[in-house]
Amino acid sequence: MQPNKTKAKLKSGETVFGCFVRYPDASLVEVLGFQDWDFILFDGEHGPLEPHHILHMASAAELRQVTPIVRVPTNQPPVILRFMDTGVQGLHVPLVNSGDDAERAVRSVKYYPRGNRGLAGVRASDYGQTIPFGEYIEQANAETLVVVHIETTEAVERLPEIVEVQGVDVAFIGPTDLSHSLGFPGETGHPTVQATFLRIAEIVKGSDAALGIMVKDAEGARLWRERGARYIAIGLESLLSPAVRDYLKAVHNTDAG
C-alpha cells in the first residue's frame, strides 16, 4: 500500500487540492494525474461509477502518485467495503448527521482494532501477495483518510460531536445540499447559508479535523483557504466549461476579425 501523501500533508498542517471526477474512464484520471493534484476524487454518489470502474481509476491515479479517494453513495458498511477494496486511500461519506453516523463510517473504513471492515485478498491488500495481513491492516488503518460530509441542518447542530470521533480526518461542507437543507436550494451565496458555512468553519477550527469544502473556481479556493479550509476540491466540469468557453470565444472573435 502506498503512503497517503494527502493525509500526510493534512497532518503536517498543509493545504491539499483535489478534483472530483464522475466519468468511468481510467485514461481521464491518468491525464489529470499529470497535473499537480494532491488527490483525485471519484464520485460514486452523483454519477455512474461502480467499484469495477474505480479499481482501474485508482490504478491510474497511483501511476502519477496522486491519492485516489472515492465518494460513496451511502453510509453502509457493505457498500463502503466494496469501494474501499478497490484500493482507494480515502473515503467521502455523505449525509453524516451525528457522532454515531461518523463512528459507523470510520469503523467501516478501518480494520481491527479500530473498525470492523472485512479483510480479504483484494486489490487494496495487493491481493495478499506482498505482506502478511497483520502488517497490511496496520498500514491501512494509518493511511486511509475519512472525510465526512456536513450537508444538513442536523449535521451542523451536531458537528461538535461529529468532529470528536476518532478517525474523522476532514469535515467537508457540501454547499449545495446544505443550502437545500437550509431552505435556499442552490443559493449558496444567501446570507443565511454563508453564515452557516462560517459557523461550521469556526466549530471545525477547534477540533483535530481539517475543514474541507467544494469550490467552483480559484477565487473560491483562495477565499476558503483564508477561512481555514485545508482540503479543497473542485469539480472537473467547473474547470472544463470555462476553459472551453474562453477558447471558443477567442477563436470566434478571431474569425469575426
CB 154 within 8 A of CB 134: no
Residue 113: asked if its preceding bond is cis (omega within 30°), the reply is yes
Q: According to DSSP H, which parts of the chain are helical?
A: 5-11, 26-33, 51-63, 77-84, 99-109, 133-143, 153-157, 159-162, 175-181, 191-205, 218-226, 236-256
Q: Is 190 a catalytic residue?
A: no
Amino acid identity for residue 148 in this structure: V
What angle is formed at CA 113 by the lines to CA 121 and CA 209, rounded to 5 degrees?
A: 105
Long-range contacts of 197-205 (CB under 8 A, 24+ apart): 197/173, 198/227, 199/156, 200/150, 200/156, 200/159, 200/171, 200/173, 201/227, 201/228, 201/229, 203/159, 203/160, 203/163, 204/159, 204/163, 204/171, 204/228
Instruction: Give the closest residue to 231 by CA, choosing from 6, 65, 7, 15.
Output: 15
Annotated catalytic residue within 46, 52, 53, 92: 46
Q: Closest by alpha carbon to 162, among 213, 206, 113?
A: 206
Q: Report how far residue 46's alpha carbon sits from residue 156's, in angstroms, rounded to the nearest whole number.
A: 22
Q: In this structure, what C-alpha cell is assigned to residue 7?
A: 493525509
Task: List residues with catalytic annotation.
Answer: 46
